[in-house]
Chain A
């Protein structure tokens, strides 16, 4: 030690200082809450308080009315644009007929250009109209909520308060016929040998977007759903609900399920978080960071990802790859708050994938994230596919389901020691259109892989 002191007395003082500075200058003191964050949290607290008070119904009603307005407008837009398109097609065909009557190609091009402009104008005008409406709804809603909060302070006996929406129409009886989830089965299972931890497992066949979409009734109007209440109550709670959506790496480009999803989100105003477009935009930024990080960082000693896998990822594209996940959060969907978009590709169609496949590891990341962020209800596509394709035979499905069940079980056991919140409800989703026999085979597999709990029944008169 003595030698060391004499040596280093002269050397590297700057280095030393830098080292200590790095350690001591990490935000080691309580972070300064900036105004924006504070505001968001205040709003969250206000909302959470209000939905857990008698005004819940009024709030839901207001939200519903807002959504209805948007929904109508969207419908109108779609109709208008549709009619414009048909009008233009007509015009164009007429013009093409007129080609022989002296119209030049330049004229046609001009017409086409004009059409395009018209179309663009139309969309833009609708979009700005919608945008304006959304903005005003958001503001109005926010102000209204805050006034509600103040009123609730003044008169704790919260009588139903008038909502800012004037035209409260009678809501038709809630017929809950829309999700015909005939194919579903629930289990209570436990993990652990001495200390038994209970979980609910449900396996069901449904469209993945059914968990997001607020259903419409026969007239094409949005329905009021009891499930929305559950979702509203849980929004700022420690029991979030999440779903895994398999998507491509284009972050909601122009096709695929992600785009459908984006459309579903736009059916009503996102009153709490940035709109889905804004969220995706922000994510694109983080993706860049992530790719950058991937390029820079040395391949870590990681027994989960093989060297070659990491190597290929490193040299890969500037896009996300299979197993990478981006996350959006929502307040206006029917059942879920958090959507885990996991990038998937055609490799998942193979019947040969193993527990080392990136998508499985992606699931693990999702479960870890769910666990450390209080997502306690999670829906996972059991077959890692949102639709039935011809190659998904009985054997294929059995094999895939077994893999996913077993891996998920393993992750659940791991999770128990992660010290986050425990996953309480796990739903396995299979595509609609699955054959009933396959479905019952998949159901039959649950008790053989998970331990179905065996409740102790004590009789009052037992000796």
Chain B
């Protein structure tokens, strides 16, 4: 009997004997956000909400309109401001403001997903230490609910305890559990505000006390107010709530704080707290009537010694719940019609995402409701600032208080808009895949990311594809190349990087705690890495950073920690802040693919080769710039190492890295070279005008770049460049193109690579290009061998410009003279791919140099000379 799979449905309405329909909804529909509901099921995904509110299905007879349009709400408070003398840590770096600490911790809460918890959806940080919390909207307060019998109360207890047990499993202590934080949402009991104590660092980061004194456990009272409470205090609090529910009374009404504290301490001397309270409330009769199992439950919760108190998960094993479960399973009376359910965790987050995109702003809502008091700052200035940092005469009382008010956020308008969208938007699997042509797809990414309707459509498509990610991998790559919706970016990235499903187990198995030699360096680097980002600068962020970096170092013993690994980690951590395992797995895959062997202890060969390739690429695509940089001696070694070592994550802010990597991830490991080149192109004008010093200065702190243009340019260059041009020996080289284009033969010694100005093209790729009519006309092969050799055998369509070394000294003078003549001949071919072929590579390289000097773009040389082509069909 799988009781868990039955949704507990108990409401006064449902208990009335006239209605006896029953729909069993498996629990799984609440946890799988990806499950796309049909219109008849409970409305726990957005699509089904749309279906329901448009009247397509479901019985909406008693649907309160409010519940349909207000799924979440917000509340706000202000964190303690740091005193002036505590602004800097011992390392000289600024300390984290409290609101940022809160923000960092809150991600854990947002990741919590349980049907008996009012989901946390978002936590934002405002100016002047303000924190705004967005969470699932509570509907009916416990006090407003009338219980029919003690079975219903037991079911209530069961749900709350399940929520508590889940919280405690996840190391969250509620601490302010009381009747005002328990709500009934569509027949499900939910704990509200359960993360306040957790996110404020056990109350340390705020000025107001957390928790209602009356429900505080005796041991909490005995400790000082700022001592950390353990999870068992929640059990006590709920015990008291339960007693009040059972007896239908209000314990210690109208009593002041002093008396309440005395009362609680008084309970310490009592053997049977339940009985004592019953007597105090004058409910001895009701006490006598309570079933023994219920007494057992409540007494095990109200043990004055926290060690004797049973934890929530053990309480759930008590006799009483077994009885009720049995009753529940066998008596259909308790299965009630259920026409609406609460949105599940993912659906709430998604809906909130759209709400924000469509202009929803919690701050303006709070202001509208007067929760953010907008006092002109000039009226709250202090009068005196003592040197020690103490202020006098200010009138800022606001920071002291916790706004108890909860503001519901309305999504009616948003849903109405989505209603009007074509049905195919909602059910992408129903429509043919080819549907396209929406005018918005050509708009800049920044606009598309703010368009709620566009995002809705994209997200539905991706959600559909991600349901069976393995099968749809190809389609996902195609869709991702158009754009990636920010809401799903973490998931999609992991998929593109082929992160395996069991990443969490792998991550858990790595030792991230034992000290290692690199710890010191990691600790120095983290507080300097992308700290403008609130999440990454929070304490929680630093801890996660450290664990991931340590895990990587530990599990890659053949590599070392190079500075820059922290920057690489930053975007992944930012995206997967509540999913360290996935951040780690994505990082690992990313490094394997794009930074193969970069983290070797001696990585000089790898990096030199990389930079030489960048140099080749510049010469290949922009000979004028290449010559200028060469003449002033501004080589890539001087600026590009941090670019490639961190895949630009050290020089760009995170929001730009995300755009850049969206494109990067879909391509092979040569793409970064083109990105580097595109960045240079954005400064082309300045670079051409500047000398060495100005160039160094310009790149010492990379100016702002237009990232979308950079990405688009890089794709253009990427597609216009033969693959073997950017081949690197030290690359991972698992691409299928490698063998297809015969790049394996390109393993050229580093020295050659650095000396040559132009890149080499592989013989196989040349044949491929020559054989393809589309490309054949766009290339020119210059054969520099002796005429006699040329006559004997040559490439189809090649022209012969013999290269003669005259004199025994450097043949340069002679070359120049002869090349002048050549140039006229070649002018008409400018813009074509020019392949210089010959048997003597040094001669070939010299010719290339002349061509580049004369501003010929797309110059490369044939690797291995013409001899490598023997037996090829392109010879004549």
Residue B408 is within 8 A (CB to CB) of chain A in the complex: no
Is there contact, CB below 8 Å, between B209 and A194?
no
* Proximity string of chain A (324-359) to chain B, C-beta cutoff 8 Å, 1 when within and 0 when not: 111101000000011010000000000000000010
> Is A418 within 8 A of B87, CB to CB?
yes
A294-B388, A454-B703 are known contacts. Are A417 and B94 too (CB-CB below 8 A)?
Answer: yes
Whether B652 and A5, one on each chain, are in contact in the complex, defined by CB atoms closer than 8 angstroms, is: no
Residues A174-217 near B (CB distance < 8 A): 192-197
Q: B279 CB to closest chain A CB, in angstroms?
A: 20
Whether the Cβ atoms of B307 and A419 lie closer than 8 Å is no
In the complex, what residues of A have CB within 8 A of residue B750's CB? none
Interface contact B222-A28, CB-CB below 8 Å? no
Residues of A close to B654: CB separation below 8 A: 194
Q: How far is the CB of B28 from chain A (nearest CB, A)?
A: 41
Whether the Cβ atoms of B376 and A302 lie closer than 8 Å is no
Q: Which residues of B contact A459 (CB under 8 A)?
A: 685
A102 at the interface (CB under 8 A from B): no
Asked, given contacts A324-B385, A419-B100, whether A1 binds B706 with beta carbons under 8 Å apart, the answer is no
Q: Which residue of B lies closest to A418 (CB)?
A: B97
**A20 with B385, Cβ < 8 A, contacts A282-B393, A286-B392, A417-B531 known:** no
Q: Is A317 an interface residue (CB 8 A)?
A: no
Closest to B398 in A: A31
Chain A binder among B262-270, B730-738, B858-866: B262-270
Minimum distance in angstroms from A325 CB to a CB of chain B: 4
Judge whether A37 and B387 touch: CB under 8 Å: no
- Decide if B213 is an interface residue (CB 8 Å cutoff): yes
Q: With both chains docked as a complex, state the minimum distance between the C-beta of B124 and any C-beta of chain A, in angstroms.
A: 12
Contact B268 A327 (CB under 8 A): no
Q: Which residues of B contact A457 (CB under 8 A)?
A: 685-686
Q: Which residues on A sit within 8 Å (CB–CB) of B224?
A: 19
- In the assembled complex, the CB of A277 is this many whole angstroms from the nearest CB of chain B, namely 14
Cβ A302 vs Cβ B384 within 8 A: no
Contact with B along A1-34 (1 / 0, CB 8 A): 1101100110001001101111111111111000
Contact across chains for A458 and B709 when beta carbons are under 8 A apart: yes
Name which residue of chain B comes closest to A300, CB basis.
Answer: B85
CB-CB under 8 A from B685, the residues of chain A are: 457, 459, 462
**A303 proximal to B (CB < 8 A):** yes
Contacts of B706 in A (CB 8 A): 456, 458
In the assembled complex, the Cα of A59 lies from the Cα of B698 at a distance in Å of 49
Specify which chain A residues have a CB less than 8 angstroms from the CB of B652 in the assembled complex: 194
* Stretch from B31-39, B399-407, B553-561, B586-594 at the A interface: B399-407
Name the distance in Å between B533's Cβ and chain A's nearest Cβ: 8
Question: Would you call B268 and A40 a contact (CB within 8 A)?
Answer: no
Interface stretch (choices A108-116, A232-240, A258-266, A377-385):
A232-240
Q: Are A326 and B682 in contact (CB under 8 A)?
A: no
Kindly specify which of B125-133, B351-359, B811-819 makes contact with the partner chain. Answer: B125-133
| Nearest-Cβ distance from residue A293 to partner chain B, whole angstroms | 6
B704 near A455 with CB under 8 A, answer yes
Please measure, in the bound complex, the distance between the C-alpha atom of A386 and the C-alpha atom of B703, giving whole angstroms.
37
Does B875 have its Cβ within 8 Å of any Cβ on chain A? Answer: no
| CB-defined contacts of B784 to chain A, threshold 8 Å | none
Q: Are A240 and B701 in contact (CB under 8 A)?
A: no
Interface pair B376/A17, CB less than 8 Å apart: no
B564 at the interface (CB under 8 A from A): no
Q: Is the CB of B387 within 8 A of A27?
A: no
Chain B hits for A282, CB < 8 A: 383, 393
A455 nearest CB across to chain B (Å): 7
CA distance A283 to B386 in the complex (A): 12
Q: Which residue of A lies closest to B570 (CB)?
A: A194
- Count A interface residues, CB 8 Å: 97
Pair A419/B222 contact, Cβ less than 8 Å: no
Contact of A16 among B261, B306, B403, B681 (CB under 8 A): B261
Contacts of A290 in B (CB 8 A): 384, 386, 390, 392
Q: In the bound complex, how far is the Cα of B710 from the Cα of A456, in angstroms?
A: 13
Min CB gap A347→B, angstroms: 14
- Expressed in whole angstroms, the Cα–Cα distance for A279 and B703 within the complex equals 47
The residue in chain A whose Cβ has the minimal distance to the Cβ of B207 is: A26
CA distance A197 to B305 in the complex (A): 55
Q: What residues of B have a CB within 8 angstroms of the CB of A294 in the complex?
A: 386, 388, 390
Indicate if the CB atoms of A366 and B385 lie closer than 8 Å: yes
With a CB–CB cut-off of 8 A, which chain B residues contact A22? 225
- Check B387 against A419 for contact (C-beta < 8 Å): no
Asked whether any CB of chain B lies closer than 8 Å to the CB of A305, the reply is yes
Give the residue of A5, A193, A456 whose beta carbon is less than 8 angstroms from that of B704: A456
Per the bound structure, the CA–CA distance linking A293 and B384 in Å amounts to 12
B218 close to A28 (CB less than 8 A) = no
B128 CB contacts on chain A under 8 angstroms: 372, 419-421
Residue of A nearest to B386 (CB): A290
Q: Which of A41, A322, A455 contacts B376 (CB 8 A)?
A: A41
CA distance A103 to B550 in the complex (A): 100
Q: Would you call A24 and B85 a contact (CB within 8 A)?
A: no
Chain B residues with Cβ below 8 Å from A23 are: 209, 225-226
Asked if A304 is at the interface (CB within 8 A of a chain B CB), the reply is yes
Specify which of A195, A289, A368, A373 is in contact with B381 (CB 8 Å cutoff): A373
Residue interface mask B655-690, A partner, CB < 8 A = 1? 000000000000000000000000001111110000
Determine which of B127, B392, B398, B704 lies in contact with A289 in the assembled complex, contact meaning CB atoms within 8 Å. Answer: B392
Contact A324 B97 (CB under 8 A): no
Q: Which among A29, A240, A417 has the greatest number of chain B C-beta atoms within 10 A? A: A417
Among the listed A2, A19, A29, A37, which residue makes an inter-chain contact with B401, where contact means beta carbons less than 8 Å apart? A29
Complex: how many Å from CA A459 to CA B209?
58
Q: Choose among A192, A418, A456 the residue that contacts B682 (Cβ–Cβ < 8 A).
A: A456
Q: Contacts of A325 on B, CB cut-off 8 Å? A: 384-385
Question: Roughly how many angstroms separate A463 CA and B682 CA in the complex, as a whole number?
Answer: 9
Q: Does B792 contact A (CB under 8 A)?
A: no
Q: Is B221 engaged at the interface, CB distance under 8 Å to the other chain?
A: yes
- A454 near B208: Cβ-Cβ < 8 Å: no
Tell me the nearest residue of chain B to A29, going by C-beta: B401
Which B705-734 residues have C-beta < 8 A from chain A? Answer: 705-706, 709
- Residue A287 is within 8 A (CB to CB) of chain B in the complex: yes
- B299-317 interface (Cβ within 8 A of A): 304-307
Question: Do B262 and A13 touch (CB < 8 A)?
Answer: yes
Q: Bound complex: CA of A21 vs CA of B262, how far in Å?
A: 12
Nearest Cβ on chain A to B406's Cβ, whole angstroms = 14
Kindly list chain B residues whose C-beta atoms are within 8 Å of the C-beta of A454. Answer: 698, 701, 703
Chain A residues with CB under 8 Å of B387's CB are 305, 313, 321-324, 358, 361-362, 365
Interface residues of A in 390-424 (CB under 8 A from B): 413-414, 416-421
> Per-residue CB proximity of A414-446 to B under 8 Å, as 1/0?
101111110000000000000000000000000
Does B257 have its Cβ within 8 Å of any Cβ on chain A? yes
A44 within 8 A of B: yes
Q: Are B388 and A238 closer than 8 Å at their CB atoms?
A: no
B307 A19 Cβ-Cβ under 8 A: no
A96 within 8 A of B: no
Residues in chain A near residue B55, CB distance under 8 A: none
Proximity string of chain A (266-308) to chain B, C-beta cutoff 8 Å, 1 when within and 0 when not: 0000000000000100110011011001100100101111000
B382 & A2 in contact (Cβ 8 Å cutoff):
no
Given A5-B268, A16-B265, A20-B261, are A44 and B384 neighbors across the interface (CB < 8 Å)? Answer: no
List the interface of chain B (C-beta within 8 A of A). 81-82, 84-85, 87-88, 90, 94, 96-97, 99-100, 125, 127-129, 207-209, 213, 218-219, 221-222, 224-226, 257-258, 261-262, 265, 268-269, 304-307, 375-393, 395, 397-398, 400-403, 530-533, 537, 650-654, 681-686, 698, 701, 703-706, 709
A-B contact pairs, 16 of them (CB 8 A): A9-B265, A20-B257, A21-B258, A23-B209, A31-B401, A195-B532, A240-B377, A289-B384, A294-B390, A304-B85, A305-B387, A323-B387, A325-B384, A338-B381, A340-B385, A455-B703
Smallest CB-CB A-B distances: 10 pairs = A236-B376, A374-B377, A31-B397, A195-B532, A325-B385, A286-B392, A323-B387, A454-B703, A23-B225, A195-B653
Beyond the given pairs A17-B258, A327-B382, 14 more chain A to chain B contacts, judged by CB atoms under 8 angstroms and listed by A's residue number, are: A9-B268, A16-B265, A28-B207, A28-B402, A37-B395, A194-B652, A235-B376, A236-B378, A240-B377, A417-B100, A420-B127, A454-B698, A454-B703, A456-B682
